[in-house]
Amino acid sequence: MKPELLIWDWNGTILDDALVCRNIANIMLSERGIPTLPDMDAYRAVFGFPIKSYYEKMGYRFGPQDEPYEHVADEFIIWYDKLYRTALLRPGIVPFLDRLKGEGYRQVLLSATRYDQLVEQVAAFGDVGDRFERKLGLTDHYAFSKAALARDFIEREGIPRERTLFIGDTDHDFEVSSAIGCPCVLLEGGHQSRARLEAMGVPVLPDLAALGDYLDRL
């Protein structure tokens, strides 16, 4: 069934920031004497949600005598605020979004980023934000869940779940789509490997051209 609404993930799907995040991870790991991630394959093998589990996979410990998770999360945000502007948008994303808007799709942006920070980040990359009728972000930056944001939006708008398509780059995006009961497609080149994405059992597409072909076939 042809979707009416496209819900786009931001980090890794629209904004190609995986390398920035891996570099920040290595700065923070090195400061703590924890082995760093040698390459993007290593990063994509451990990144995931909940974010606390991602840190634990990298070697952090959050027991009573250890550094609090919130302290680590806050430090990441400080680094990310300094460095995210060095990332680039996914190649071809702006004309692709324009094409979809011209074809009548409604499009919203969803992120585990705190809302005010999401608005600031999107604004840093020109007018890409103008392609979305709404930007949905969390109330804090500890990144526990974004499913409720998407669910609340489609319920308020009265959009059938089967007419909503979630576009992301991680297994968590699949989990969010499952939680709200809508279909999902996943794009390569973001924060997780193709093998991890394929394990979700949904279409995994190499690029925007393939996504366009996929939508045309619906």
10-residue mean pLDDT profile of the chain (218 residues): values are 96 98 98 98 96 96 94 96 98 98 97 90 97 88 68 92 97 94 97 98 98 97
Rounded CA gap, 5 and 3, in Å?
6
Looking at residue 139, its pLDDT comes to 74
In whole angstroms, what is the distance from residue 171 CA to residue 174 CA?
A: 5
Asked whether 146 and 136 are in contact (CB, 8 A), the reply is yes
Q: What local confidence, expressed as pLDDT, does residue 143 receive?
A: 43
pTM for this model (two decimals): 0.94
The one-character DSSP state at 11 is B
Q: Where are the strands (E) in the chain, listed by range? A: 5-9, 15-16, 88-89, 106-114, 134-138, 164-168, 184-187, 204-205
Under 8 Å between Cβ of 171 and 197: yes
Burial class (CB in 10 A: 0-12, 13-18, 19+), 104: exposed
Residues 6+ apart with CB under 8 A from 103: none
Residues 6 or more apart whose Cβ sits within 8 Å of residue 173: 9, 13, 166, 167, 184, 186
Residue 175 has a CB neighbour count (10 Å cut-off) of 17
Dist. CA 193–CA 47, nearest whole Å:
10
Contact criterion met (CB below 8 Å) for 105 and 5: yes
